[in-house]
Amino acid sequence: MESISRRRMLALSSLTCGPLAELAFGSAAGAKRPNILFIMTDDHASQAISCYGSKVNQTPNLDRIAREGMRMDRVFATNSICTPSRATILTGKYSHLNGVPVFNRFDGSQPTVAKMLQKTDYYTAMIGKWHLGSDPTGFDYWNILPGQGVYNNPTFYDKDGSETYKGYATDVITDITIDALKNRPKDKPFFMMSHHKAPHREWTPDEKHRKMFEHKHIPEPANLRDDYSGRTDALHEQKQSVFRDLTRRDLKLKPPAGLSGAELNQWLGVKPMEVETEIDGVRKTLRGKELEDWKYQRYMQDYLACVQSVDDNVGRQLDWLDANGLRENTVVIYTSDQGFFLGEHGLYDKRFMYEESLRMPFLVRWPGVIRPGSTSSAIGINCDFAPTFLDLAGAPAPTDMQGRSFLPIWEGKTPRDWRGAMYYRYYHDPGDHNTRAHYGIRTATHKLIYFWKKDQWECYDLAADPHEMRNIYNDPKAQKTVSMLKQELYRLKKEMRDDDQFANEQPKESSYVQAPPPRKR
Ligand code: CA
Protein backbone atom coordinates (compact mmCIF):
# COMPACT_ATOMS: atom_id res chain seq x y z
CA MET A 1 0.00 0.00 0.00
CA GLU A 2 2.83 2.32 0.91
CA SER A 3 4.33 2.16 -2.55
CA ILE A 4 1.02 3.18 -4.10
CA SER A 5 0.81 6.31 -1.95
CA ARG A 6 4.39 7.08 -2.85
CA ARG A 7 3.58 6.64 -6.50
CA ARG A 8 0.63 8.96 -6.15
CA MET A 9 2.77 11.66 -4.55
CA LEU A 10 5.33 11.31 -7.29
CA ALA A 11 2.59 11.41 -9.90
CA LEU A 12 1.28 14.61 -8.34
CA SER A 13 4.72 16.19 -8.38
CA SER A 14 5.14 15.25 -12.03
CA LEU A 15 1.77 16.84 -12.73
CA THR A 16 3.06 20.14 -11.40
CA CYS A 17 6.47 19.86 -13.02
CA GLY A 18 5.44 18.94 -16.55
CA PRO A 19 6.24 16.11 -18.95
CA LEU A 20 9.98 15.96 -18.25
CA ALA A 21 9.39 15.20 -14.60
CA GLU A 22 6.92 12.54 -15.68
CA LEU A 23 9.59 10.84 -17.76
CA ALA A 24 12.12 11.08 -14.96
CA PHE A 25 9.64 9.51 -12.57
CA GLY A 26 8.83 6.75 -15.04
CA SER A 27 12.38 5.49 -15.12
CA ALA A 28 12.97 6.06 -11.40
CA ALA A 29 10.00 3.99 -10.25
CA GLY A 30 11.16 1.12 -12.47
CA ALA A 31 10.13 -2.41 -11.66
CA LYS A 32 7.93 -1.55 -8.67
CA ARG A 33 5.15 -0.42 -10.94
CA PRO A 34 2.75 -3.28 -11.66
CA ASN A 35 2.34 -5.05 -14.95
CA ILE A 36 -1.11 -4.74 -16.50
CA LEU A 37 -2.75 -7.61 -18.36
CA PHE A 38 -6.02 -6.35 -19.82
CA ILE A 39 -8.12 -9.20 -21.21
CA MET A 40 -11.18 -8.03 -23.12
CA THR A 41 -13.74 -10.11 -24.95
CA ASP A 42 -16.29 -8.93 -27.48
CA ASP A 43 -19.96 -8.94 -26.44
CA HIS A 44 -19.63 -11.03 -23.28
CA ALA A 45 -22.66 -10.35 -21.09
CA SER A 46 -22.12 -10.44 -17.34
CA GLN A 47 -25.25 -12.59 -17.05
CA ALA A 48 -23.18 -15.34 -18.72
CA ILE A 49 -20.52 -15.32 -15.97
CA SER A 50 -21.22 -17.41 -12.89
CA CYS A 51 -19.74 -15.00 -10.34
CA TYR A 52 -22.29 -12.44 -11.61
CA GLY A 53 -25.06 -14.95 -10.86
CA SER A 54 -25.44 -16.57 -14.28
CA LYS A 55 -28.38 -18.97 -14.51
CA VAL A 56 -27.15 -20.38 -17.82
CA ASN A 57 -23.48 -21.39 -17.44
CA GLN A 58 -20.46 -21.87 -15.19
CA THR A 59 -17.23 -19.91 -15.68
CA PRO A 60 -14.81 -21.18 -13.01
CA ASN A 61 -11.76 -19.35 -14.33
CA LEU A 62 -13.44 -15.96 -14.55
CA ASP A 63 -14.85 -16.61 -11.08
CA ARG A 64 -11.29 -17.22 -9.94
CA ILE A 65 -10.36 -13.59 -10.77
CA ALA A 66 -13.32 -12.42 -8.68
CA ARG A 67 -12.47 -14.80 -5.86
CA GLU A 68 -8.85 -13.68 -5.76
CA GLY A 69 -9.72 -10.04 -6.46
CA MET A 70 -12.72 -7.77 -7.03
CA ARG A 71 -15.97 -7.96 -8.95
CA MET A 72 -17.21 -4.53 -10.02
CA ASP A 73 -20.98 -4.57 -10.48
CA ARG A 74 -21.64 -1.21 -12.07
CA VAL A 75 -19.13 -0.59 -14.82
CA PHE A 76 -20.91 0.73 -17.91
CA ALA A 77 -20.12 1.37 -21.57
CA THR A 78 -20.73 4.97 -22.59
CA ASN A 79 -21.75 3.92 -26.14
CA SER A 80 -22.57 0.23 -26.24
CA ILE A 81 -21.06 -0.91 -29.52
CA CYS A 82 -17.67 -2.43 -30.44
CA THR A 83 -15.64 0.25 -32.23
CA PRO A 84 -16.75 3.25 -30.10
CA SER A 85 -16.09 1.38 -26.83
CA ARG A 86 -12.56 0.50 -27.95
CA ALA A 87 -11.86 4.12 -28.91
CA THR A 88 -13.12 5.27 -25.49
CA ILE A 89 -10.96 2.76 -23.64
CA LEU A 90 -7.84 3.97 -25.48
CA THR A 91 -8.52 7.69 -25.11
CA GLY A 92 -10.43 7.99 -21.83
CA LYS A 93 -12.91 10.14 -23.75
CA TYR A 94 -16.51 9.91 -24.91
CA SER A 95 -17.25 9.22 -28.59
CA HIS A 96 -17.99 12.89 -29.32
CA LEU A 97 -14.45 13.82 -28.25
CA ASN A 98 -12.48 10.91 -29.73
CA GLY A 99 -14.26 11.07 -33.10
CA VAL A 100 -15.67 7.51 -33.07
CA PRO A 101 -19.45 7.70 -32.48
CA VAL A 102 -20.27 4.89 -34.96
CA PHE A 103 -17.88 2.67 -36.95
CA ASN A 104 -15.64 5.63 -37.87
CA ARG A 105 -11.95 5.08 -38.55
CA PHE A 106 -10.00 5.87 -35.36
CA ASP A 107 -7.50 8.69 -35.82
CA GLY A 108 -4.39 7.04 -34.36
CA SER A 109 -2.48 10.33 -34.22
CA GLN A 110 -4.49 11.44 -31.17
CA PRO A 111 -3.19 10.90 -27.63
CA THR A 112 -3.92 7.41 -26.25
CA VAL A 113 -3.18 5.63 -23.01
CA ALA A 114 -0.84 3.24 -24.86
CA LYS A 115 1.33 6.14 -26.04
CA MET A 116 1.36 7.64 -22.55
CA LEU A 117 2.36 4.35 -20.93
CA GLN A 118 5.04 3.87 -23.55
CA LYS A 119 6.43 7.30 -22.58
CA THR A 120 6.61 6.24 -18.93
CA ASP A 121 8.73 3.29 -20.06
CA TYR A 122 6.10 0.57 -20.04
CA TYR A 123 6.40 -2.15 -22.66
CA THR A 124 3.09 -1.95 -24.54
CA ALA A 125 1.45 -4.69 -26.61
CA MET A 126 -1.89 -5.22 -28.36
CA ILE A 127 -3.04 -8.67 -29.50
CA GLY A 128 -6.28 -9.85 -31.13
CA LYS A 129 -9.38 -7.92 -32.11
CA TRP A 130 -8.66 -4.23 -32.67
CA HIS A 131 -11.50 -3.17 -35.00
CA LEU A 132 -10.69 0.53 -35.20
CA GLY A 133 -10.11 0.86 -38.94
CA SER A 134 -6.58 2.28 -38.61
CA ASP A 135 -3.46 0.44 -37.45
CA PRO A 136 -2.52 0.53 -33.74
CA THR A 137 -0.25 3.34 -32.52
CA GLY A 138 1.60 3.51 -29.20
CA PHE A 139 2.34 -0.21 -29.02
CA ASP A 140 5.85 -1.69 -29.02
CA TYR A 141 4.32 -4.91 -30.34
CA TRP A 142 0.97 -5.48 -32.03
CA ASN A 143 -0.55 -8.39 -33.89
CA ILE A 144 -4.22 -8.00 -34.72
CA LEU A 145 -7.18 -9.47 -36.59
CA PRO A 146 -8.22 -7.58 -39.71
CA GLY A 147 -11.70 -6.12 -39.02
CA GLN A 148 -13.79 -8.65 -37.12
CA GLY A 149 -11.45 -11.51 -38.03
CA VAL A 150 -12.63 -15.11 -38.25
CA TYR A 151 -13.07 -17.85 -35.64
CA ASN A 152 -11.24 -20.70 -37.38
CA ASN A 153 -7.67 -20.51 -38.72
CA PRO A 154 -7.62 -16.71 -38.30
CA THR A 155 -5.29 -14.40 -40.18
CA PHE A 156 -3.51 -11.77 -38.10
CA TYR A 157 -1.33 -8.90 -39.23
CA ASP A 158 1.43 -6.82 -37.71
CA LYS A 159 3.70 -4.07 -39.03
CA ASP A 160 5.47 -6.57 -41.30
CA GLY A 161 2.41 -8.14 -42.95
CA SER A 162 -0.07 -10.92 -42.37
CA GLU A 163 0.10 -14.51 -41.23
CA THR A 164 -2.53 -17.23 -40.91
CA TYR A 165 -2.58 -19.28 -37.72
CA LYS A 166 -3.97 -22.79 -37.44
CA GLY A 167 -6.59 -23.23 -34.76
CA TYR A 168 -9.44 -21.46 -33.01
CA ALA A 169 -9.27 -17.67 -32.51
CA THR A 170 -9.60 -17.71 -28.69
CA ASP A 171 -6.80 -20.29 -28.32
CA VAL A 172 -4.61 -18.51 -30.88
CA ILE A 173 -5.01 -15.08 -29.23
CA THR A 174 -4.04 -16.61 -25.87
CA ASP A 175 -1.03 -18.37 -27.47
CA ILE A 176 0.19 -15.13 -29.05
CA THR A 177 -0.33 -13.26 -25.76
CA ILE A 178 1.68 -15.82 -23.80
CA ASP A 179 4.42 -15.75 -26.47
CA ALA A 180 4.50 -11.95 -26.25
CA LEU A 181 4.82 -12.23 -22.46
CA LYS A 182 7.70 -14.69 -22.83
CA ASN A 183 9.50 -12.46 -25.34
CA ARG A 184 8.91 -9.12 -23.59
CA PRO A 185 11.85 -7.06 -22.32
CA LYS A 186 12.21 -8.12 -18.69
CA ASP A 187 13.57 -4.78 -17.46
CA LYS A 188 10.26 -2.94 -17.91
CA PRO A 189 6.73 -3.37 -16.61
CA PHE A 190 4.26 -4.37 -19.33
CA PHE A 191 0.86 -3.17 -20.45
CA MET A 192 -0.69 -5.90 -22.53
CA MET A 193 -4.10 -5.73 -24.20
CA SER A 194 -5.30 -9.22 -25.14
CA HIS A 195 -8.56 -8.79 -27.05
CA HIS A 196 -10.68 -11.77 -27.99
CA LYS A 197 -13.04 -12.05 -30.92
CA ALA A 198 -15.36 -14.33 -28.97
CA PRO A 199 -18.22 -14.48 -28.21
CA HIS A 200 -19.18 -12.10 -31.07
CA ARG A 201 -21.83 -13.00 -33.64
CA GLU A 202 -21.97 -15.43 -35.55
CA TRP A 203 -21.03 -17.37 -32.39
CA THR A 204 -18.94 -20.18 -33.86
CA PRO A 205 -17.84 -22.49 -31.02
CA ASP A 206 -14.67 -24.59 -31.06
CA GLU A 207 -14.76 -28.39 -31.44
CA LYS A 208 -14.11 -28.92 -27.74
CA HIS A 209 -17.25 -27.07 -26.61
CA ARG A 210 -19.48 -27.26 -29.69
CA LYS A 211 -21.81 -29.86 -28.22
CA MET A 212 -21.49 -28.86 -24.57
CA PHE A 213 -24.97 -27.30 -24.39
CA GLU A 214 -26.60 -29.39 -27.14
CA HIS A 215 -28.90 -31.41 -24.90
CA LYS A 216 -29.25 -28.85 -22.15
CA HIS A 217 -32.30 -26.66 -21.83
CA ILE A 218 -31.07 -23.09 -21.35
CA PRO A 219 -33.44 -21.27 -18.96
CA GLU A 220 -35.20 -18.38 -20.72
CA PRO A 221 -35.14 -14.90 -19.18
CA ALA A 222 -38.54 -13.96 -17.71
CA ASN A 223 -38.93 -11.10 -20.22
CA LEU A 224 -38.00 -13.06 -23.38
CA ARG A 225 -41.57 -12.42 -24.57
CA ASP A 226 -41.69 -8.74 -23.57
CA ASP A 227 -44.59 -7.15 -25.48
CA TYR A 228 -43.06 -3.66 -25.07
CA SER A 229 -46.25 -2.18 -23.67
CA GLY A 230 -45.78 1.29 -22.24
CA ARG A 231 -42.40 1.67 -23.94
CA THR A 232 -41.47 4.05 -26.79
CA ASP A 233 -41.37 3.20 -30.51
CA ALA A 234 -37.71 2.17 -30.28
CA LEU A 235 -38.26 -1.34 -28.92
CA HIS A 236 -41.07 -1.92 -31.44
CA GLU A 237 -38.90 -0.84 -34.37
CA GLN A 238 -35.62 -2.63 -33.54
CA LYS A 239 -34.31 -5.46 -35.70
CA GLN A 240 -32.33 -7.36 -33.10
CA SER A 241 -35.05 -9.76 -32.08
CA VAL A 242 -34.15 -13.38 -31.29
CA PHE A 243 -37.45 -14.55 -32.81
CA ARG A 244 -37.51 -12.35 -35.92
CA ASP A 245 -33.96 -11.42 -36.86
CA LEU A 246 -31.63 -14.38 -36.39
CA THR A 247 -30.48 -15.60 -39.80
CA ARG A 248 -29.86 -19.09 -41.12
CA ARG A 249 -26.14 -18.31 -40.66
CA ASP A 250 -26.69 -17.41 -36.99
CA LEU A 251 -28.77 -20.56 -36.46
CA LYS A 252 -26.13 -22.71 -38.24
CA LEU A 253 -28.67 -24.19 -40.65
CA LYS A 254 -27.14 -26.44 -43.28
CA PRO A 255 -27.36 -24.98 -46.79
CA PRO A 256 -28.59 -27.15 -49.68
CA ALA A 257 -25.78 -28.87 -51.55
CA GLY A 258 -24.40 -27.02 -54.56
CA LEU A 259 -24.86 -23.46 -53.30
CA SER A 260 -21.81 -21.21 -53.35
CA GLY A 261 -20.68 -17.59 -53.54
CA ALA A 262 -23.39 -14.93 -53.64
CA GLU A 263 -26.16 -17.54 -53.79
CA LEU A 264 -24.89 -19.20 -50.61
CA ASN A 265 -24.55 -15.86 -48.86
CA GLN A 266 -28.08 -14.92 -49.80
CA TRP A 267 -29.40 -18.25 -48.49
CA LEU A 268 -27.51 -17.86 -45.21
CA GLY A 269 -28.76 -14.28 -44.77
CA VAL A 270 -32.46 -15.28 -44.74
CA LYS A 271 -34.31 -14.88 -41.42
CA PRO A 272 -36.29 -18.14 -41.43
CA MET A 273 -39.89 -18.27 -40.18
CA GLU A 274 -40.05 -22.02 -40.75
CA VAL A 275 -37.26 -24.50 -40.07
CA GLU A 276 -37.03 -28.16 -40.86
CA THR A 277 -34.77 -29.93 -38.41
CA GLU A 278 -34.15 -33.21 -36.67
CA ILE A 279 -35.09 -33.44 -32.99
CA ASP A 280 -34.27 -36.69 -31.16
CA GLY A 281 -33.91 -38.53 -34.48
CA VAL A 282 -37.26 -37.31 -35.87
CA ARG A 283 -37.51 -34.79 -38.72
CA LYS A 284 -39.79 -31.95 -37.86
CA THR A 285 -40.94 -28.64 -39.30
CA LEU A 286 -40.89 -25.91 -36.67
CA ARG A 287 -43.14 -22.85 -36.81
CA GLY A 288 -44.62 -20.30 -34.42
CA LYS A 289 -43.84 -20.62 -30.73
CA GLU A 290 -42.08 -23.94 -31.20
CA LEU A 291 -39.68 -22.29 -33.66
CA GLU A 292 -39.19 -19.30 -31.33
CA ASP A 293 -38.24 -21.60 -28.45
CA TRP A 294 -35.84 -23.49 -30.70
CA LYS A 295 -34.21 -20.28 -31.99
CA TYR A 296 -33.51 -19.12 -28.44
CA GLN A 297 -31.93 -22.45 -27.55
CA ARG A 298 -29.80 -22.55 -30.73
CA TYR A 299 -28.60 -18.98 -30.16
CA MET A 300 -27.67 -19.61 -26.55
CA GLN A 301 -26.06 -23.02 -27.11
CA ASP A 302 -23.52 -21.50 -29.49
CA TYR A 303 -23.02 -18.27 -27.56
CA LEU A 304 -22.33 -20.13 -24.31
CA ALA A 305 -20.01 -22.63 -26.01
CA CYS A 306 -17.92 -19.67 -27.27
CA VAL A 307 -17.82 -18.27 -23.72
CA GLN A 308 -16.60 -21.61 -22.39
CA SER A 309 -13.48 -21.45 -24.55
CA VAL A 310 -12.85 -17.91 -23.27
CA ASP A 311 -13.11 -19.20 -19.71
CA ASP A 312 -10.63 -22.04 -20.39
CA ASN A 313 -8.17 -19.66 -21.98
CA VAL A 314 -8.39 -17.10 -19.17
CA GLY A 315 -7.54 -19.99 -16.83
CA ARG A 316 -4.57 -20.90 -19.01
CA GLN A 317 -3.39 -17.30 -18.93
CA LEU A 318 -3.71 -17.02 -15.12
CA ASP A 319 -1.86 -20.33 -14.68
CA TRP A 320 0.95 -19.07 -16.88
CA LEU A 321 1.31 -15.82 -14.90
CA ASP A 322 1.28 -17.71 -11.60
CA ALA A 323 3.82 -20.28 -12.80
CA ASN A 324 6.18 -17.59 -14.08
CA GLY A 325 6.48 -15.41 -11.00
CA LEU A 326 4.13 -12.76 -12.32
CA ARG A 327 1.22 -13.34 -9.97
CA GLU A 328 2.08 -10.74 -7.32
CA ASN A 329 2.95 -7.73 -9.39
CA THR A 330 0.49 -8.07 -12.26
CA VAL A 331 -2.93 -6.44 -12.34
CA VAL A 332 -5.18 -8.79 -14.31
CA ILE A 333 -8.40 -7.31 -15.65
CA TYR A 334 -11.19 -9.17 -17.40
CA THR A 335 -13.88 -7.17 -19.19
CA SER A 336 -15.89 -7.03 -22.39
CA ASP A 337 -16.29 -4.07 -24.77
CA GLN A 338 -19.95 -3.93 -23.67
CA GLY A 339 -22.66 -6.24 -22.46
CA PHE A 340 -25.13 -8.22 -24.59
CA PHE A 341 -28.76 -9.26 -24.59
CA LEU A 342 -29.27 -12.97 -23.99
CA GLY A 343 -32.97 -12.86 -24.81
CA GLU A 344 -33.91 -10.11 -22.32
CA HIS A 345 -36.69 -8.02 -23.94
CA GLY A 346 -36.60 -10.65 -26.71
CA LEU A 347 -33.27 -9.26 -27.93
CA TYR A 348 -29.82 -10.30 -28.94
CA ASP A 349 -26.96 -7.81 -29.65
CA LYS A 350 -26.35 -4.64 -27.56
CA ARG A 351 -26.70 -0.87 -28.44
CA PHE A 352 -29.70 -0.11 -26.19
CA MET A 353 -29.06 1.50 -22.83
CA TYR A 354 -30.92 -1.30 -21.00
CA GLU A 355 -28.87 -2.98 -18.27
CA GLU A 356 -27.77 -6.17 -20.04
CA SER A 357 -26.16 -4.20 -22.87
CA LEU A 358 -24.94 -1.22 -20.82
CA ARG A 359 -23.14 -3.24 -18.17
CA MET A 360 -19.57 -4.40 -18.81
CA PRO A 361 -18.34 -7.30 -16.72
CA PHE A 362 -15.30 -6.06 -14.80
CA LEU A 363 -13.15 -8.43 -12.75
CA VAL A 364 -9.73 -7.50 -11.42
CA ARG A 365 -7.01 -9.31 -9.48
CA TRP A 366 -4.03 -7.65 -7.83
CA PRO A 367 -2.72 -9.74 -4.92
CA GLY A 368 -1.65 -7.71 -1.91
CA VAL A 369 -3.64 -4.65 -2.92
CA ILE A 370 -7.18 -5.83 -3.74
CA ARG A 371 -8.90 -7.76 -0.98
CA PRO A 372 -9.84 -11.22 -2.30
CA GLY A 373 -13.57 -11.71 -2.88
CA SER A 374 -14.40 -8.02 -2.65
CA THR A 375 -17.12 -6.29 -4.70
CA SER A 376 -17.92 -2.71 -5.60
CA SER A 377 -21.11 -1.02 -6.70
CA ALA A 378 -19.44 2.30 -7.54
CA ILE A 379 -20.57 3.56 -10.95
CA GLY A 380 -17.66 3.15 -13.35
CA ILE A 381 -17.48 3.92 -17.07
CA ASN A 382 -15.12 2.84 -19.84
CA CYS A 383 -13.59 6.37 -19.79
CA ASP A 384 -12.16 5.36 -16.38
CA PHE A 385 -9.92 2.61 -17.78
CA ALA A 386 -7.21 4.88 -19.25
CA PRO A 387 -6.86 7.05 -16.09
CA THR A 388 -6.69 3.81 -14.06
CA PHE A 389 -3.84 2.41 -16.18
CA LEU A 390 -1.98 5.72 -15.89
CA ASP A 391 -2.49 5.77 -12.12
CA LEU A 392 -1.02 2.26 -11.91
CA ALA A 393 2.00 3.53 -13.84
CA GLY A 394 2.29 6.51 -11.48
CA ALA A 395 1.60 8.93 -14.32
CA PRO A 396 -1.00 11.70 -14.17
CA ALA A 397 -4.06 11.48 -16.41
CA PRO A 398 -4.36 14.41 -18.82
CA THR A 399 -7.10 16.80 -17.70
CA ASP A 400 -9.12 16.24 -20.89
CA MET A 401 -9.63 12.56 -20.09
CA GLN A 402 -13.19 12.13 -18.83
CA GLY A 403 -12.81 9.32 -16.35
CA ARG A 404 -11.28 8.71 -12.93
CA SER A 405 -8.89 6.08 -11.67
CA PHE A 406 -10.43 2.94 -10.10
CA LEU A 407 -7.41 2.55 -7.82
CA PRO A 408 -9.00 3.98 -4.64
CA ILE A 409 -12.04 1.73 -5.24
CA TRP A 410 -9.77 -1.30 -5.55
CA GLU A 411 -8.09 -0.30 -2.28
CA GLY A 412 -11.51 -0.27 -0.62
CA LYS A 413 -11.60 3.52 -0.30
CA THR A 414 -14.19 4.76 -2.78
CA PRO A 415 -13.89 8.57 -2.75
CA ARG A 416 -16.88 10.39 -1.25
CA ASP A 417 -17.22 12.50 -4.36
CA TRP A 418 -17.32 9.49 -6.73
CA ARG A 419 -19.89 9.97 -9.53
CA GLY A 420 -23.53 9.29 -8.68
CA ALA A 421 -24.67 8.99 -12.30
CA MET A 422 -23.23 8.09 -15.70
CA TYR A 423 -23.99 9.63 -19.07
CA TYR A 424 -24.64 7.48 -22.17
CA ARG A 425 -25.03 8.24 -25.87
CA TYR A 426 -25.66 5.88 -28.81
CA TYR A 427 -25.65 7.19 -32.41
CA HIS A 428 -25.79 4.28 -34.87
CA ASP A 429 -29.34 4.86 -36.19
CA PRO A 430 -30.75 3.20 -38.24
CA GLY A 431 -27.79 0.82 -38.86
CA ASP A 432 -28.32 -2.88 -39.44
CA HIS A 433 -30.35 -3.37 -36.27
CA ASN A 434 -32.49 -0.25 -36.62
CA THR A 435 -31.69 0.67 -33.03
CA ARG A 436 -32.93 4.20 -32.38
CA ALA A 437 -30.35 6.79 -31.34
CA HIS A 438 -30.61 7.80 -27.72
CA TYR A 439 -28.88 9.40 -24.78
CA GLY A 440 -29.56 9.15 -21.10
CA ILE A 441 -28.30 8.72 -17.57
CA ARG A 442 -28.15 5.89 -15.10
CA THR A 443 -27.97 6.59 -11.38
CA ALA A 444 -27.70 4.00 -8.60
CA THR A 445 -31.49 3.68 -8.62
CA HIS A 446 -32.92 5.09 -11.86
CA LYS A 447 -32.47 5.35 -15.59
CA LEU A 448 -33.71 8.06 -17.94
CA ILE A 449 -33.47 7.53 -21.71
CA TYR A 450 -34.19 10.08 -24.45
CA PHE A 451 -34.64 8.92 -28.06
CA TRP A 452 -33.76 12.28 -29.51
CA LYS A 453 -34.68 11.65 -33.16
CA LYS A 454 -38.12 10.52 -31.98
CA ASP A 455 -38.50 12.96 -29.09
CA GLN A 456 -39.62 10.09 -26.86
CA TRP A 457 -38.63 9.25 -23.29
CA GLU A 458 -38.35 6.21 -21.05
CA CYS A 459 -37.72 6.21 -17.31
CA TYR A 460 -37.16 3.21 -15.04
CA ASP A 461 -37.04 2.71 -11.29
CA LEU A 462 -34.24 0.13 -11.18
CA ALA A 463 -34.81 -0.72 -7.52
CA ALA A 464 -38.48 -1.59 -8.02
CA ASP A 465 -38.16 -2.77 -11.63
CA PRO A 466 -34.65 -4.15 -12.30
CA HIS A 467 -35.70 -5.71 -15.62
CA GLU A 468 -36.89 -2.35 -16.98
CA MET A 469 -40.40 -3.38 -17.92
CA ARG A 470 -42.40 -0.41 -16.63
CA ASN A 471 -41.78 2.97 -18.22
CA ILE A 472 -42.69 5.50 -15.50
CA TYR A 473 -41.94 8.58 -17.60
CA ASN A 474 -45.61 9.59 -17.77
CA ASP A 475 -46.56 8.26 -14.34
CA PRO A 476 -47.91 11.26 -12.33
CA LYS A 477 -46.28 9.91 -9.15
CA ALA A 478 -42.86 9.89 -10.85
CA GLN A 479 -42.85 13.48 -12.11
CA LYS A 480 -40.60 14.88 -9.39
CA THR A 481 -38.06 12.09 -10.01
CA VAL A 482 -38.24 12.52 -13.79
CA SER A 483 -37.63 16.23 -13.49
CA MET A 484 -34.61 15.71 -11.18
CA LEU A 485 -33.20 13.08 -13.54
CA LYS A 486 -33.65 15.40 -16.51
CA GLN A 487 -31.79 18.14 -14.72
CA GLU A 488 -28.94 15.77 -13.94
CA LEU A 489 -28.95 14.46 -17.53
CA TYR A 490 -28.41 17.91 -19.00
CA ARG A 491 -25.87 18.82 -16.35
CA LEU A 492 -23.83 15.69 -17.15
CA LYS A 493 -24.22 16.14 -20.91
CA LYS A 494 -22.71 19.60 -20.54
CA GLU A 495 -20.01 18.44 -18.14
CA MET A 496 -19.00 15.73 -20.64
CA ARG A 497 -18.81 18.46 -23.29
CA ASP A 498 -21.40 16.84 -25.53
CA ASP A 499 -22.87 19.68 -27.57
CA ASP A 500 -24.45 17.35 -30.16
CA GLN A 501 -21.30 17.40 -32.34
CA PHE A 502 -22.23 14.05 -33.88
CA ALA A 503 -26.01 14.12 -33.53
CA ASN A 504 -26.45 13.79 -37.29
CA GLU A 505 -23.68 11.23 -37.86
CA GLN A 506 -24.76 8.61 -40.39
CA PRO A 507 -24.23 4.94 -39.54
CA LYS A 508 -21.29 3.20 -41.15
CA GLU A 509 -21.54 -0.55 -41.35
CA SER A 510 -18.71 -2.48 -39.81
CA SER A 511 -16.86 -4.69 -42.24
CA TYR A 512 -16.90 -8.27 -41.00
CA VAL A 513 -13.82 -9.26 -42.93
CA GLN A 514 -11.35 -6.48 -43.66
CA ALA A 515 -8.78 -7.54 -46.26
CA PRO A 516 -5.47 -8.14 -44.46
CA PRO A 517 -2.27 -6.67 -45.90
CA PRO A 518 0.03 -8.92 -47.98
CA ARG A 519 1.64 -11.94 -46.36
CA LYS A 520 4.94 -11.67 -44.56
CA ARG A 521 8.11 -12.24 -46.62
CA1 CA B 1 -18.64 -5.73 -29.00
Render pLDDT for 332-380 as a digit per residue (tens, 0 to 9). Answer: 999 999 999 999 999 999 999 999 999 999 999 999 999 999 999 999 9
Chain mean pLDDT for the chain:
93
Using the mean position of ligand 1's atoms as its centre, give its distance from the Cα of residue 336 in Å. 7
DSSP annotation of 354 reads S
CB-based contact 415:408 (threshold 8 Å): yes
Confidence of residue 14 (pLDDT cuts 50, 70, 90): very low
Using the mean position of ligand 1's atoms as its centre, give its distance from the Cα of residue 286 in Å. 31
Asked whether residue 3 carries a pLDDT value surpassing 80, the answer given is no
Distance between first and last Cα of the chain:
49
Average pLDDT over residues 470-494: 98
Whole-angstrom distance, CA of residue 507 vs CA of residue 431: 5
Average pLDDT over residues 483-498: 98
CB-based contact 197:171 (threshold 8 Å): no
Average pLDDT over residues 278-300: 95
Q: Map out the domains of the chain as residue ranges.
A: 1-32, 38-204+306-420, 208-296
Using the mean position of ligand 1's atoms as its centre, give its distance from the Cα of residue 366 in Å. 26
Q: What pLDDT is stored for residue 30 in this prediction?
A: 38
Q: What pLDDT is stored for residue 27 in this prediction?
A: 31
Using the mean position of ligand 1's atoms as its centre, give its distance from the Cα of residue 82 in Å. 4
Q: What pLDDT is stored for residue 420 in this prediction?
A: 98
Bridge-based pairing state of the strands 123-129 and 141-145: parallel
Lowest-confidence range among 30-34, 206-210, 242-246? Answer: 30-34
Using the mean position of ligand 1's atoms as its centre, give its distance from the Cα of residue 21 in Å. 38
Among candidate residues 217, 206, 204, 210, the one with its CA nearest the CA of residue 55:
217
Using the mean position of ligand 1's atoms as its centre, give its distance from the Cα of residue 379 in Å. 20
Near ion ligand 1, which residues have CB within 5 Å?
Answer: 42-43, 82, 337
Whole-angstrom distance, CA of residue 214 vs CA of residue 205: 12
pTM for the structure as a whole: 0.94
Q: What pLDDT is stored for residue 285 in this prediction?
A: 97
Using the mean position of ligand 1's atoms as its centre, give its distance from the Cα of residue 146 in Å. 15
Using the mean position of ligand 1's atoms as its centre, give its distance from the Cα of residue 125 in Å. 20
Residues near 321 by Cβ (< 8 Å), separated by ≥ 6? 37, 181, 327, 330, 332
Confidence of residue 513 (pLDDT cuts 50, 70, 90): low
Asked whether residue 91 carries a pLDDT value surpassing 80, the answer given is yes
Q: What pLDDT is stored for residue 510 in this prediction?
A: 67
Using the mean position of ligand 1's atoms as its centre, give its distance from the Cα of residue 226 in Å. 24
Confidence of residue 511 (pLDDT cuts 50, 70, 90): low
Using the mean position of ligand 1's atoms as its centre, give its distance from the Cα of residue 339 in Å. 8
Q: Using omega within 30 degrees of 0 as the cis cutoff, is the peptide bond preceding 202 cis?
A: yes
Using the mean position of ligand 1's atoms as its centre, give its distance from the Cα of residue 425 in Å. 16
Using the mean position of ligand 1's atoms as its centre, give its distance from the Cα of residue 303 in Å. 13
Lowest-confidence range among 92-101, 201-210, 507-516? Answer: 507-516
Using the mean position of ligand 1's atoms as its centre, give its distance from the Cα of residue 476 in Å. 38
Using the mean position of ligand 1's atoms as its centre, give its distance from the Cα of residue 329 in Å. 29
Using the mean position of ligand 1's atoms as its centre, give its distance from the Cα of residue 487 in Å. 31
Using the mean position of ligand 1's atoms as its centre, give its distance from the Cα of residue 38 in Å. 16
Asked whether residue 24 carries a pLDDT value surpassing 80, the answer given is no
Higher pLDDT, 164 or 279: 164
Q: What pLDDT is stored for residue 516 in this prediction?
A: 87
Using the mean position of ligand 1's atoms as its centre, give its distance from the Cα of residue 172 in Å. 19
Q: Which fold has domain 38-204+306-420?
A: Alkaline Phosphatase, subunit A (3.40.720)
Whole-angstrom distance, CA of residue 140 vs CA of residue 114: 9
Backbone angles phi, psi at 76, to 5 degrees: -125, 145
Using the mean position of ligand 1's atoms as its centre, give its distance from the Cα of residue 348 in Å. 12
Using the mean position of ligand 1's atoms as its centre, give its distance from the Cα of residue 515 in Å. 20
Using the mean position of ligand 1's atoms as its centre, give its distance from the Cα of residue 151 in Å. 15
Using the mean position of ligand 1's atoms as its centre, give its distance from the Cα of residue 23 in Å. 35
Using the mean position of ligand 1's atoms as its centre, give its distance from the Cα of residue 198 in Å. 9
- CA atoms lying within 13 Å on the CB side of residue 457: 16
Using the mean position of ligand 1's atoms as its centre, give its distance from the Cα of residue 491 in Å. 29
Using the mean position of ligand 1's atoms as its centre, give its distance from the Cα of residue 32 in Å. 34
Using the mean position of ligand 1's atoms as its centre, give its distance from the Cα of residue 200 in Å. 7
Q: What pLDDT is stored for residue 495 in this prediction?
A: 98
Using the mean position of ligand 1's atoms as its centre, give its distance from the Cα of residue 43 in Å. 4
Whole-angstrom distance, CA of residue 71 vs CA of residue 376: 7
Using the mean position of ligand 1's atoms as its centre, give its distance from the Cα of residue 340 in Å. 8
Percent of the chain with pLDDT over 70: 93
DSSP annotation of 355 reads H
Using the mean position of ligand 1's atoms as its centre, give its distance from the Cα of residue 338 in Å. 6
Q: What pLDDT is stored for residue 514 in this prediction?
A: 78
- Residue 484 CB neighbour total at 10 angstroms: 13
